[in-house]
Each structure stands twice: as structure tokens, then as C-alpha cells.
Amino acid sequence: MASSFTIITDSSCDLPPSLAEKHRLRVAPLTVSLGGGSYSNFLDGSDIPFEDFYGRIASGESVTTSAVNYEQFRIVMESELILGNDVLYIGFSSALSGTYSVGVRAATELAEQYPRRRILTVDSLCASMGQGLLVDLAASKREAGATIDETYEYVQSIKLKVCHYFTVDDLHQLQRGGRIGGASAAFGTILNIKPVLHVDDNGRLVALSKTRGRQASIKALFDAFCEKAVKPEDQTVFISHGNCREDADQLAEIINERYGCKVVISYVGPVIGAHSGQGTLALFFIADKR
């Protein structure tokens, strides 16, 4: 029987809604502002469909993002505490968003009000489905009978083994997000440069290499998996994409052909996609280290 605690995360995890439902997760939404409107980044795209979002940013609409606010965290966490459940919150990398710090503040204040309940928080140092993979592993641990403390220790021990490798198609979106300069975006676009990036041990985005063309960048993701993945045939690999499902399917197919492992594919949600742009393709798996 599963232990009596609830895993809470935020919507930057980009998990398929069916998987979040299977694990009985509580997911607090971040917010994206686009074209004068404000939308919750729900996992199912119910507030703003993913295809619509990517079409609008590709057409040049300005976009900004906001962390989960304090009151949202209080509501989600307290609703579980009232039911007598302990809470494990696994949050978006603190190096990329203020969301985790807001969650910690809510957890700290609620712990004083509910002294008989446990509230533990983990800075995932992950993003998108890297965070989602960590949450999925935590939920599986809980469902195998682990206590909240055992699950917390497990998550802390494995989070820096969650590898993130991704490439982007739209350098101008990286420019608008402040990741590269305007000249680099223009020059890179002319040369068909597709950068390969990852998330480091501090939870920050770091450029690894540059490839020429989309197929070369997809191969670079596959090569990283072949080089670093631990027991790849036994893993469940996560892939997220910014409205480029065909590329995600291609990457999944070549991984599956080589290793026969399970692959889960989902969208890069609007909050992450606001910075990475349409055509983002990301691969997440477990290695000895990032």
C-alpha cells in the first residue's frame, strides 16, 4: 500500500496529464502572459492550447512568464494537510525560476500551522521533463511503499543524475529570452546553426556544442544518450518537444531501435517554451552524472 503522503510539483515538469493523474500528483501552474492575456500553464493545455501558443510566439507575439504565486501554493499544500497527508514538494530549478523559493515559503509557514504534518521540499535543479522524470521516479518509489523520508532521500540522491540534453530551432526566441545576443541569433540563423545545450549541476542552462542542421542536432542528442545513459535498455526515457512531434518521434524511434527502452513524449509547456521557442527538442534520462 502506498505511503500516506502527497507529491506536489509545478507545471514546468511538462508531464503528460495522464501520467500526473496515474501518480495522483498535485500540480501548481505557472503563468504565461501573451498578447495582453494571462494563461495558466496547465499540463493539458486547457487554458491555452500548445499549438496555439507556439503559433503565436512564432508570429512574433511578445511573451513573459510568472512563477506560481504564494496563495496558489498555500491552497494546494493546505488542502492535502487538512486531509491528514504529509507533503513532498519537488520544484522547478531555483536557478531558472523563483517558483521553488515561493513554494518553500508557503511550506515553511504551513509547517508552523500544522506541526503534526511533514512538509519536505526539494529543489530539483531540473527543468521541463527532466523535472518530470524526477517526479515520476519519486512517485514510483512511493508506490513501491517508501516513506516520505525514504522518497525524499532517494530524490536528493538521484536528481544530479537526471540528464537534460536539448536543441532549439529558433535562435531568435533564445535571443528574446536573453540567452544569446541579437548578432549571434542572426548569424546562427544564416548558417543554420542548431545549438545543443544541457542543464548543469547548479540547475542552469549551459551550451555544449553547435551543429549544422536539424538532423545533426537530433543525432547529437542520440549520441549523448548512447555515451552517458546507465543501463539504457532498462530506462524509461522522456522526450519533450516544442510543437515538433515528428522530430520527437524520430528521436524516440532511433533510441528504441537501438535499446528497446520505453519512451514517453510530451509537449514543452508554454512557460519553458516561452524561452526555448518552437522547435525545441529535449531528451531526458539517467546517467552516473550530468
- In the chain, where the domains are located: 5-159, 161-286
Statement: residue 183 has pLDDT above 80: no
Residue 210's pLDDT is 86
| Side chain identity at residue 32, one-letter code | V
Which stretches does DSSP call E strand in the chain?
5-10, 26-28, 31-34, 37-40, 63-66, 86-91, 119-123, 162-167, 193-199, 205-212, 236-241, 262-267, 281-286
Residue 186's pLDDT is 34
Reported as a pLDDT band with limits 50, 70 and 90, residue 191 is: very low
Residues 259, 237: Cα–Cα separation, whole Å: 11
Residues 33, 66: Cα–Cα separation, whole Å: 8
Average pLDDT, the chain: 92
Statement: residue 248 has pLDDT above 60: yes
Residue 282's pLDDT is 98
Query: Would you state the cell numbers that stand for residue 189, as one nine-digit string?
Result: 540563423
Residue 55's pLDDT is 95
Statement: residue 177 has pLDDT above 90: no
Task: Give the mean model confidence (pLDDT) for residues 233-240.
Answer: 97
Dihedral of the alpha carbons of 269, 156, 285, 184, in degrees to the nearest 10: 60
Residue 212's pLDDT is 85
Q: Is the dihedral of CA 127, 72, 43, 3 positive or negative?
A: positive
Task: Give the mean model confidence (pLDDT) for residues 31-47.
Answer: 97
Residue 18's pLDDT is 97
Phi, psi of 177 (to 5 degrees): -85, 0
Residue 218's pLDDT is 97
Residues 238, 127: Cα–Cα separation, whole Å: 12
CATH of 5-159, one of 3.40.50.10170, 3.90.79.10, 3.30.930.10, 1.20.58.220: 3.40.50.10170
CA triple 187-190-192, angle to 5 deg:
105
Reported as a pLDDT band with limits 50, 70 and 90, residue 206 is: confident
Q: In what order do the strands lie in the sheet with 119-123?
A: 26-28, 5-10, 86-91, 119-123
pTM for the model stands at 0.93
The answer to whether 167 and 268 have CB atoms below 8 angstroms apart is: no
Architecture of domain 161-286: 2-Layer Sandwich (3.30)
Reported as a pLDDT band with limits 50, 70 and 90, residue 207 is: confident
Residue 117's SS3 state is: coil
Q: What tens digit of pLDDT does each residue of 59-105 get?
A: 989 999 999 999 999 999 999 999 999 999 999 999 999 999 999 99
Task: Give the mean model confidence (pLDDT) for residues 190-201.
Answer: 78
